[in-house]
Chains A and B, each alone.
Chain A
């Protein structure tokens, strides 16, 4: 039996083959599984590397990467219109990202924020359809409640199979996204279609009482406050409560948590309820604050982008504010480069490369270069 060495390092030793002369390389790569935390600057480095990588493609398209990036940056942050648009996009990213971060903290891999957002939007719309004449306060409150509850329920549908039957949540949450999107199609083409909508799929326009208040003449709505409040509450909960402590323990070592008497299954359910609920709020805020009606493509993949947002923030609630604004800016910046003849998918390319470098960085970080004795 090998004694367990304390740092559980050196699980794999990759050593180059010795040269024919019998001389040995003096450097070797060593895998250290205990190095699970990459340094704080790894997200920043990932963004820089992603920008460099995409610059190659832009240059290959015959354009100057500097001009394109400048254009994107100006489009997203340079004008007050651009900036508020960026913030509008940041709201669902922040809410979904926060939900994802909560779940990922204890290694529950919820990738169903997109679906949870969609059902949240649907439930909020249901309030406008079945209770059309409520006063503003009640209407908004009810929409918020329904949206949250629907998202939470959608999360629960992932949580219960995981805790009780050991079904991988990656699969269920992903599949439920499609269920939600198809259900959305059904209602906007069918029962909830606006009778005065010239047969276009979509619910009737929301009344002013069913819409979230906006800032001045911009499209920036009060959903931003929902997001910021959620971040603050979450931050305080994780830092100062017993619940937060339990999450920390489960995240760091589930076996030890079990030995400390923590019910992990219960926590998985709670976390998925929160995760889904937050995405549900995002969905409610989208219909009530931005589109003012339910329609197809209510989310251009916020639920998926939010995964990158959460990861880039290293699941840190305050970091989430920064990364969601950054990604909101990426989306808006992507639109603005269309005017100079680049497809807006440049922003998706950037998003993808950022995630790629981020994950690669986490992996590479676990290897150390050691000098052999």
Chain B
């Protein structure tokens, strides 16, 4: 076809040893809404970031309206009419919506009240045309998230974009707002714009797009017309068919129930409901996997269990006693360890050495300090021993941990979390960004914890990992557990469907 408004050919992008985009071909046409579907980490955002000039491709070429384009920066992309609405908005909180939109415009030096009034009208008219309503004269911080997104969209339109990329646009919206957004997309399409939307929500894709491209693990799997496909097929494409999972051999070690969560309601940071009537159970000597697409409450679940977040309704019973208040120290002292999502952000202090990083959770104990004084020499020996036992490769004990490799950082983190013999470990994406060897090491550690009688709640987006390790897999969707399957009967496709919010179907796997 000649009328591709966007064409990407053989795009390769590597981050270190990880290939985020592997020979990706992609094209979109004017007057269509094109959905780019894939799990988190499939490479959707990376590909779109290259189109909008945030990243540069290592290989491959990009054609805009049939012409080879050299997109070296977001500015280049803007000149070519490519605008991107990012997942986390790029807005100045203290400026009004209109001021944000005209920001960076060089056309006029003098900006009197008349000019601003004129711009307000212009922006309002533009918004109205595409069904995007928001108060133009109010500062951004007073607007709802949905309104902020509309400001972002109008900003790209105002700057003359005719290729508009929306990165996970519905992840922050309420269902009603999402509905409105799709209406806007239709109007944009009719106006001859090219709309590209990355998402992992199948229902929305079916409802709003004309064509769908599916990515998986950095590769482009297929491009289909929405009319010719259905959710089942998309789910299959998204999670893949390969049944490579070599389930870790195990004996039954299950013991008493360790953690019982009953009908828990939790709010996210902005008052949105994050966990909704969620119940689950973890027993001693059991690995319970929580599968789900990012942003369905996993983060909040981990935070509640580790004492970082309070809950509104429901109860948590741990080790036979009811947990009354959210307290990090309380959680640590009762034997809950935590491998957080982003190890360098919240798990380790990069500037400090191994000793300080290992002491994080135990420095208050008798063993490591007395009368408020740290037992420096003893702690050093203890750290030395842990570093050796967990085979952490570090030049010196005092080398800042940010200089270690990702695998060694994670080993250090595990050393700390395992060293005080936890009863329960809450591990969130424990192998994210690790290579094959390091991943295997982490899996081994989790299995060891299991066989020593500890419970593990493994929150991961990597379905393979969950299938390999878990005794039971729970699927979280919209803050609630919508399905469960045990180790024996775990079915990749079924779980993939549930992750997309589609409940059991008659006749499919049990």
Contact = CB atoms under 8 A, between A and B. Distances in A.
Nearest to B352: A252
Interface string B334-370: 0000101010111111111000100111011000010
Contacts of A242: 363-364, 369, 372-374
B372 A243 contact: yes
B344 A6 contact: yes
Contacts of B10: none
Interface in A258-282: 258-261
B475 interface: no
A259 B347 CA distance: 7
Interface string A242-261: 11110011001101111111
Contacts of B331: 261
A54 to B, nearest CB: 33
B16 interface: yes
Contacts of B403: 7
B433 interface: yes
A240 interface: yes
Given A6-B344, A7-B402, A34-B350, A259 B46 contact: no
Nearest to A243: B372
A240 B373 contact: yes
A217 B331 CA distance: 62
B376 A240 contact: yes
Nearest to A255: B346
Nearest to B348: A256
Interface string A1-22: 1111111100000000000000
B317 to A, nearest CB: 21
A330 B233 CA distance: 77
A144 to B, nearest CB: 24
A241 B359 CA distance: 13
A255 B344 CA distance: 10
Interface stretch (B37-45, B131-139, B381-389): B37-45
B18 interface: yes
Interface residues of B, number: 52
Contacts of B41: 1, 3
A37 interface: yes
A256 B360 contact: yes
B360 A252 contact: no
A345 interface: no
Q: Size band of the A side of the interface? A: 20 to 34
Contact of A249 (B328, B349, B374, B433): B349
Contact of B349 (A1, A6, A252): A252
A36 interface: yes
Nearest to B330: A261
Interface in A191-250: 240-245, 248-249
A258 B307 CA distance: 10
B409 interface: yes
A3 B346 contact: no
Interface string B405-419: 110010000000000
A6 B327 CA distance: 30
A260 B360 contact: yes
Contacts of B306: 259
- Most chain B C-beta atoms within 10 Å of own C-beta, residue among A1, A3, A36: A1
A5 B434 CA distance: 10
Contacts of A261: 307, 327-329, 331-332, 361
Interface string B94-131: 00000000000000000000000000000000000000
B346 A249 contact: no
Given A4-B433, A259-B308, A261-B328, A249 B348 contact: no
A241 B373 contact: yes
B316 interface: no
A252 B46 contact: no
B374 A252 contact: no
27 contacts: A1-B42, A2-B15, A2-B45, A2-B55, A3-B18, A3-B20, A4-B344, A4-B433, A5-B16, A6-B402, A240-B376, A241-B373, A242-B369, A242-B372, A248-B356, A249-B349, A249-B352, A249-B360, A252-B350, A252-B351, A253-B345, A256-B345, A256-B346, A256-B360, A259-B328, A260-B332, A261-B307
Interface of B: 15-16, 18, 20, 40-46, 49, 55, 306-308, 327-329, 331-332, 338, 340, 342, 344-352, 356, 359-361, 363-364, 369, 372-374, 376, 402-406, 409, 432-433
Ranked 7 nearest A-B pairs via Cβ: A252-B349, A261-B328, A253-B349, A261-B329, A260-B360, A6-B406, A255-B346
